[in-house]
Structure formats: structure tokens, C-alpha cells
Amino acid sequence: MKRTAVLLMAVLVAGGLVWAQGLLINGAGATFPYPIYSKWFDVYHQKNGSLQFNYQSVGSGAGIKQVTEGTVDFGATDGPMNDEQLKAYQDKHGSAILHFPTVLGAVVPTYNLSGVSGSLNFTPEALAGIFLGKITKWNDPAIAGANKGVSLPAGDIVVVHRSDGSGTTYVWTDYLCKISDEWKSKVNKSTSVNWPVGLGGKGNEGVTALIKQTPNSFGYVELIYAAQNNIPYGTVRNAAGTFVKADLKSVSEAAAGAAKDMPEDFRVSITNAPGKTAYPISSFTWLLVPSKIQDNAKREAIKGFLTWMLADGQSYAEQLSYAQLPKAVIEKEKKAIAKVQ
């Protein structure tokens, strides 16, 4: 009895001790950029042993919610906060929340078809039709028409989407709204929508896992998830009529136009961008940083990280299949960091 009590006390004391490793900064949000954030925070911690950025990949929806509630120090999202959400934050905290783009990524259509290891071509109509539940079989003419020479099975398409509030969903539905009026009127765009069909996976991770494990499945994930897990992903026909595969070049091209006219608050959509070889389902992803941070140490730490992220951090993007931010955007952001007070 006595021994267990002593043990209990020891654990309590040990648990309460500061491990002499300084400051913990908590963030939560998008799963879209999780691989690169995870890398960044790890590298940054190696450089600054006293700073730890604890990022939980829980989906953009949760990121927006938690940073608004104030339960985390920063958020992350690939679906920019809408005016209503911005107002909610302003009303609650008396100050604004700022968007800081970090990298460019792509949402790719990915699938699990036995015998098909290469890239299938998808027209916008095919993508909308599949997710509306109107195209149900893999060998439907809408898909087969763009993939002559590939033998598609006759099986049912198992659609996989996100079950949680997701910026990746926002990007995907934003694109579908632009290319399909039916989608726009029936489902519209948001981080969380009323899906006509499909299974729900939690996070990009969950969707990837489901696709990997379920034959004949079809879903959308951020590029690196497909690449890292060796599942094939398809090309998408862009506004200029070319079937483009997502890669650094095609994603950067999609952002080229937006970089010139970037709004002050950095909220912009680059889906279905013009450009001969632009990838149509690309997106910026943002960190959500409060404009007023009370804790001096945390504020300096976050501003320091943002500065590093815009400089050295960008060089880590490409190895993880994210495209670097356009120079114009970086310059603008460097100035915007001063807004965090």
C-alpha cells in the first residue's frame, strides 16, 4: 500500500516537472500539409531545442474551430475561413485572425484498381458524375472515353470522401462547383458537405488507408499521400483542355496568376486556373495565426517560425511533393508577419 503510494507520488512529481525543454506551442488543423508541417516542426525543433510546435492533424474544420475557441495557439486550413467565420473570430477575440500561405499542394483523384497501375485520365464531367453518384461503374463511357486502351473492370466504383471537416474537401468541392452546375446547386462547397455517395475516411490519412485497402475504390487526397503510399493517381483535364498530372510544375503554374493579384488577406482560390499546363485542383494552404498574441514568448516563437518557413522552410517542400510559394507571395507575407502583435 505504502509502496504504491510512493510510486504514485513519484509519477506525479515526475509528470509535473518541466523537462527543461522550454516552450510548447500547440496547433491543429489540416491534414493536407501535415507531412510537410511535421517535417518543418521537427527540423525547427532541431535548430531551436527550446521550441516545440505540437501540431495535431485533425482536419481544417477542427483547426478553424479550435483556433477560434482559443484552445490552440494557431490553426491550419486549406479552405480559407469564410467571412462568417472571420467575423465569429473577431467577435470572440476582439482582433482579427490572419491567413499565412505556407505551400502549394494538389488534390489528386486516386484509385485502387487491379491491373491498373498507371494514371487514368479524368474529365471534369467524370469527376462530378462519380461523386454525384450518377456514374457508378468503372467501365462507364464517361471514364472509358478518356482512357482508350485501358481495360477497366465492370465493377462498382467505391467512392471515398472525407468524413471530417476538411480543407481538402473544400478544394475538391470548390473545383467541382466551378465545373459542374449540378454539383453547385445540389451540394455546394465547404469543408464538410452532404455527400451524395461514398464512404467516409478520417483525414487524408484515413481516406488513403481506405483506398489502399478497398478494391475498386476512388477518392481524393493530397498529392503526397498518394505518392508516399504508392497508390496510382490520375490526370485531370484542365480549363485549357489538357489532361494534366499533378506535379510541382503544374501546381506552380496554377498559382502563377493568383500570385500577381494576391489579396491582402491571402485568401484566394486557384482551382480550375487558366494556363496550358496548370493543374486544375491546386491550392494554397494556410496557417491561421491570431493577430494578437498575449504571450510574448509564444508570439516571438511563432513569428520566428513564420520567417524561417518563408526562407529555409520552402526548400523542404519539393522533396515532399509540395510546390514552393511564388516569390511575390513570399515577399508580401514577410511584410504581413509584422501584423502579428
Partner 1 sequence: MGGRLRWRKFVSNFMLTLTGVCAGVSVAVLFFILGYLLFNGGTSINWDFFTKLPKPVGETGGGMANAIVGSAKLLAAASLFGVPIGFFGGIYLAEFSGAKMAGVVRYAADLLNGVPSIVIGIFAFSVVVRPFKTFSTLAGAFALGLMMIPITLRSTEEFLNAVPRMLREGAMALGASKWKTIATVIVPAAYRGILTAILLALARVAGEAAPLLFTAFGNRYWSQGWNQPTAALPEMIFRYAGSPYEDWHRQAWAAGLVLLGFILIINILARTILARGIAAPRA
Partner 2 sequence: MATANPTVQSAGPISGSRSFLSKLREGDEIARLITFIFAATVVLITVALVYELWTSSVLARHKFGLHFFVSEAWDPVLDEFGALPFIYGTLVTSAVSLLIAIPLGIGASIFLAELAPPRISDTLQFFIDLLAAVPSVIYGLLGIFIVVPMMRNVIYPALNKPFGFLPIFKGPSYGVGMLTAGIVLAIMVIPYIISVSREVLLSVPRDQREAALALGSTRWESTWKVVVPFARTGIMGSVFLALARALGETMAVTMVIGNTPKIAASLFAPGYSIAAVIANDFTEATGELQTQSYIELGLVLFLLTFILNGLARILIIVTTQKGSKVSN
Binding-site ranges for partner 1 (CB under 8 A): 1, 8, 11-12, 15-19, 21, 24, 26, 28, 34-35, 38-39, 41-42, 45, 52, 54-57, 69-72, 201-203, 205-206, 208-209, 212, 224-225, 228-229, 320
Q: Which is nearer to partner 1, 55 or 286 (CB)?
A: 55
Contacting residue, 21, 151, 188, 228, with partner 2 by CB under 8 A: 188
Contacting residue, 121, 163, 269, 272, with partner 2 by CB under 8 A: 163
Shortest distance in whole angstroms from residue 281 CB to partner 1: 20
Residue 205: contacted member of partner 1, partner 2, none (CB under 5 to 8 Å, by partner type): partner 1
Cell numbers describing residue 310: 518563408
In one letter, which amino acid is 124? P
Span from 186-194, 218-226, 299-307, 330-338 in contact with partner 2 (CB under 8 A): 186-194
DSSP notation for 130-155:
HHHTS--BTT-HHHHTT-TT-----S
Asked if 85 and 64 count as a contact pair (C-beta separation under 8 A), the reply is yes
- Which residues partner with 112 through β-bridges? 217
Q: Which is nearer to partner 1, 50 or 188 (CB)?
A: 50
Q: How many CB atoms lie within 10 A of CB 183?
A: 23
d(CA 98, CA 91): 15
Asked if 289 and 306 count as a contact pair (C-beta separation under 8 A), the reply is yes
Shortest distance in whole angstroms from residue 159 CB to partner 2: 10
Residue 275: contacted member of partner 2, partner 1, none (CB under 5 to 8 Å, by partner type): none
Cell numbers describing residue 253: 503554374
Residue of 110, 82, 33, 103 whose CA lies nearest to 255? 103
Q: Which residues bind partner 2 (CB under 8 A)?
A: 58-59, 61-66, 85, 88, 155-156, 158, 163-165, 188, 190-195, 198-202, 210, 213-216
